[in-house]
Amino acid sequence: MSTPAVEITGLVKRYGSKTAVDGLDLKMDRGRLLALLGPNGAGKTTTVEICEGFLRPDAGTVRVLGLDPARDGAALKPRIGVMPQGGGAYPGVRAGEMLGLVAACAADPLDPAWLLDVLGLTAARRTPFKRLSGGQQQRLSLACALVGRPELVFLDEPTAGMDPQARRLVWDLLGALRADGVSVLLTTHLMEEAEALADDVVIVDGGRVIAEGTPSALTAEDGDAAQLRFKARAGLDTALLSAALPEGYQVEELVAGSYRVLGRVDPQVVSTVTSWCAQQGVLAEELHVGRRDLEEVFLELTGRELRS
Ligand SMILES: Nc1ncnc2c1ncn2[C@@H]1O[C@H](COP(=O)(O)OP(=O)(O)OP(=O)(O)O)[C@@H](O)[C@H]1O
């Protein structure tokens, strides 16, 4: 068995009195795409920067491709690709030049022209970095992370600030990388991104792992039955609505204005909920019958929204 791509045990990192990472454990096998999903400030960037060797942990052990990033940086750096949050480059350097420079440092680089094409940057190859749009800068930064054919890539919020079309290009490229057996660890606070791409999702909050598994295992529920959820104004009388439903059904307000009906969903239940709301003069919005999504998993675990 090969060593895991990443193995973290009991990781702690403090900034003064602030504990950014608080006893985090994570194991990622080779060839997987793992999404570290959590709200702003959850400790994702700090964790990734420790894996990349840019920050030292206060406690715990971190192994990346079997190496200690703090001690074995010289051996590790040629084997990993890094896309930091916000990217960065000399402002005057042209997009094509920048990628060419990074490629020149690699032993067996990918063809920079091909990468520019795949990421929709060919037309911008002579544009100075500072004149690229935010999304183009992000894509160039991703190209720089990938051009050296790394075994493992760390991508910190790779699609932040991109329009949907650019995001799709990046998702396609990440899918292709994964198919090629490259290990990918990305951070995101976008539930759709984690759901669309990840083999494994690790949900972090307050510097700790609060749930982990494949997207389908995380979103599975008791008996895997579909549930009815809806949004409406906060503070509906859930006891009254529960009483309107057949015996055994219960309605709960997960977080202000977000409701879930506990019990098997059938057409009669949907009809009862909507007509009860109508009687109260309440518009039931985002009525949804189905499995929960990762956003709802986070909500149920923390009582807060992922985007809050
Ligand atoms: N250099 C620093 N000095 C002080 N506090 C910091 C520093 N870097 C991060 N923090 C704090 O540590 C916590 C974790 O930050 P981190 O950037 O790792 O979270 P994150 O999950 O990546 O969030 P984001 O998505 O906003 O980047 C936050 O409360 C943040 O304010």
- pLDDT in tens for each of the 308 residues of the chain? 689 999 999 999 999 999 999 999 999 999 999 999 998 899 999 999 999 999 999 999 999 999 999 999 999 999 999 988 876 677 789 999 999 999 998 889 999 999 999 999 999 999 999 999 888 998 999 999 999 999 999 999 999 888 888 888 889 989 888 888 999 999 998 888 998 899 999 999 999 999 999 998 888 765 556 789 999 999 999 999 999 999 989 999 988 899 999 888 999 999 999 999 999 999 999 998 887 888 888 888 888 887 75
* CATH 3.40.50.300 applies to domain 6-218: yes
Query: Which atom, in ligand 1's list, is nearest to the CA of 47?
Result: 18
Nearest Cα residue to atom 4 of ligand 1:
15
Query: Which atom, in ligand 1's list, is nearest to the CA of 46?
Result: 18
Among 230, 236, 232, 238, smallest CA distance to 287 is for 230
Query: In terms of DSSP bridges, do strands 80-83 and 152-156 run parallel, antiparallel, or are they unpaired?
Result: parallel
In terms of Cβ atoms closer than 10 Å to its own Cβ (0-12, 13-18, 19+), residue 278 is: exposed
Q: In the prediction, which pLDDT does 237 show? A: 96
* CA 41 to ligand 1 center in whole angstroms: 5
In the chain, ranges of CATH 3.30.70 domains: 222-290
Separation CA 224–CA 22 (nearest Å): 32
Phi-psi region of 182 (alpha: psi -120 to 50; beta: other; left: phi over 0): beta
* CA 81 to ligand 1 center in whole angstroms: 21
In the chain, ranges of CATH 3.40.50.300 domains: 6-218
Report yes or no: 99 and 118 within 8 Å, Cβ to Cβ.
Answer: no
Nearest Cα residue to atom 24 of ligand 1:
40
Query: In terms of DSSP bridges, do strands 227-231 and 285-290 run parallel, antiparallel, or are they unpaired?
Result: antiparallel
Q: In the prediction, which pLDDT does 169 show? A: 87
Report yes or no: 245 and 275 within 8 Å, Cβ to Cβ.
Answer: no
Query: Which atom, in ligand 1's list, is nearest to the CA of 43?
Result: 18
Q: In the prediction, which pLDDT does 255 show? A: 82
Separation CA 160–CA 205 (nearest Å): 19
* CA 80 to ligand 1 center in whole angstroms: 23
| Count of Cβ atoms closer than 10 Å to residue 45 Cβ | 20
- CATH fold of 222-290 reads Alpha-Beta Plaits (3.30.70)
Q: In the prediction, which pLDDT does 147 show? A: 94
Separation CA 67–CA 204 (nearest Å): 24
Q: Which residues line ligand 1 (CB under 6 A)?
A: 15, 18, 20, 38, 40-46, 85, 189
* CA 244 to ligand 1 center in whole angstroms: 46
Separation CA 201–CA 211 (nearest Å): 8
Q: Which residues of 152-169 are buried (b: 16+ CB within 10 A; e: fewer)?
A: bbbbbbbbbebeeebbeb
Separation CA 23–CA 60 (nearest Å): 8
The CA angle 215-219-223, to the nearest 5 degrees, is 130
Q: In the prediction, which pLDDT does 20 show? A: 97
Q: In the prediction, which pLDDT does 292 show? A: 80
In terms of Cβ atoms closer than 10 Å to its own Cβ (0-12, 13-18, 19+), residue 272 is: middle
Q: pTM of the prediction? A: 0.84
Separation CA 211–CA 194 (nearest Å): 13
Separation CA 142–CA 254 (nearest Å): 38
Separation CA 168–CA 193 (nearest Å): 10
Helix (H, G, I), strand (E, B) or coil at 157: coil
